[in-house]
Structures are given as C-alpha cells and as structure tokens.
Amino acid sequence: MVKKFTKKIKKIKKIIEKYMTLLNRVLYYNYITKGGYTMNKTNANEKKKLKTRKGYDFFIISSAMQKAIRRGDARVAGFCALELYHSGYHKYVWKRLLTISAEDCYGVITKEIWALYQSFNLVNEGKKDFSKGRIFISKAILILSQVAKNRDSDHLQNFIYDGEMVSEDEIREYADEIGEIDKIEIPEYAYDCHTMEGRKKGKTKKDFFTEEFEALKNRQLGLFDNLVYGVK
C-alpha cells in the first residue's frame, strides 16, 4: 500500500515538474519578446513569475551561477546551471556561459565553450525537449570555474569606452601616424598562383605547395609532408 502511494506521489511530482517546465518556457518567451531587461510594469510582473522547477527565482539562480563561477565554486555554479537547464532554460544557460567566458575569463576560452555548445546541439538534433547532453553544460561549468580570471573585456567597454577615457587627441595621434606610413614594397612571395600577377609569371599550384611548405618558420613534422613534393 505504501509502495503504491509512493509511486503515485513520484508520478504526480513528475507531472508537476513537466508542467512547471512548460509554464516557465512560456513565461520566459513572453519575457524575452516583451523587451527582455527593459523595465516596465508588464516585465516586472513577468519577472516575478519566472521560477525554476524547484521553486528558485530565475534571476537569483542565474546571478548565483555567474558569481559562483567568478569565485571558482564549481559545485554551486553547476547546481544553478543544471537547475536552469532542467527548468527549460537551456538556451539562456548557454548564452550566459558564453558571455561569462568573454566577461570574466582570461585568454581565448570562448571557443571552448562554443565547442561544447555545438556538441550539446548535436546530441539533441531532432529532439524538441533538449533532454540530452547536460554533460556538456557540466563540462563548461568546470572549465569556466577553473580557468584563470580577468575582467579586462568588461572594464574596457564600461570604463574606457563608456567613461570616455580616450581623448580625441590620442585618436588623432594614431590617425596621423597611420597616414604617415609609407607604402611598403610587396614581397615577391605574395605573387603566387592565387593572384593574377602570379599566374602571369607562370606560378603553379605545385610552386605554391612547395614554396610555402619550405617557408614555414618553426615547422613541425607532419603526417603528410612527403606528399607536398608529389603535387602536380
């Protein structure tokens, strides 16, 4: 009797979660189409309704995810990201993670997150509910939490540009410098079989492969190096 009752409770719980996920998607769609972060009475009401499947406020859990990543707390960040994912906000999660990769992280880390996003889409190809691939979100969280941090990108746009910290004189100085540069002599190697001038000089595809191969600085051994000299 207790087992049957427990099964029924679990079934009801799953139905409620599915309903909440669907409702959240509708609310989120309405929120986005009505102006996103533009504050007005309608949007304020919509924002109050946005909840995750476990009842967390959408905006608080989103904020917690990014702030936890900044602090290297993968446990909290991962929980928040997966809570958003399971609540039907997978698109928002990826947009936020990509933004974090540029806003808070040092180096070229955005390409790593983009690759994981592409993998997520691949495993969900043909699926309307995007029920697969949360492992890629987890991996993204781990990478972003552990990578070196730097907010130069955000500081550049907010302090340097918005704060107008570059004077007109500085801009003019660079513009003048550029204008004073003399034209350089185009090196002979620029004229290959891909240019009209090169073809007039009789340059062939074989010349291109061999000359450019031999010109490589700090060349590493390649699997197919031996094929270069066989090009006709």
Domain chopping of the chain, boundaries:
2-49, 58-150, 188-230
Q: What is the mean pLDDT of the chain?
A: 81
Query: Rounded to an integer, what is the distance from CA 32 to the centroid of its chain?
Result: 19
pLDDT(39) > 70: no
Mean pLDDT of 3-8: 63
**Model confidence over 60-99: pLDDT tens digits?**
999 999 999 999 999 999 999 999 999 999 999 999 999 9
Better pLDDT: 124 or 30:
124
pLDDT of residue 216: 82
Torsion angle of C-alpha atoms 62, 64, 69, 72, degrees rounded to 10: -160
Structure tokens, 18:
């599915």
For 9-38, b where at least 16 C-beta lie within 10 A, e where not — what string?
Answer: eeeeeeeeeeebbebbeebbeebeeeeeee
**Per the structure block, which two tokens stand in for 186?**
């185009």
Domain 58-150 class in CATH: mainly alpha
| pLDDT at position 149 over 50 | yes
Q: C-alpha dihedral over 94, 96, 99, 104, to 10 degrees?
A: -120
pTM to 2 decimal places: 0.64
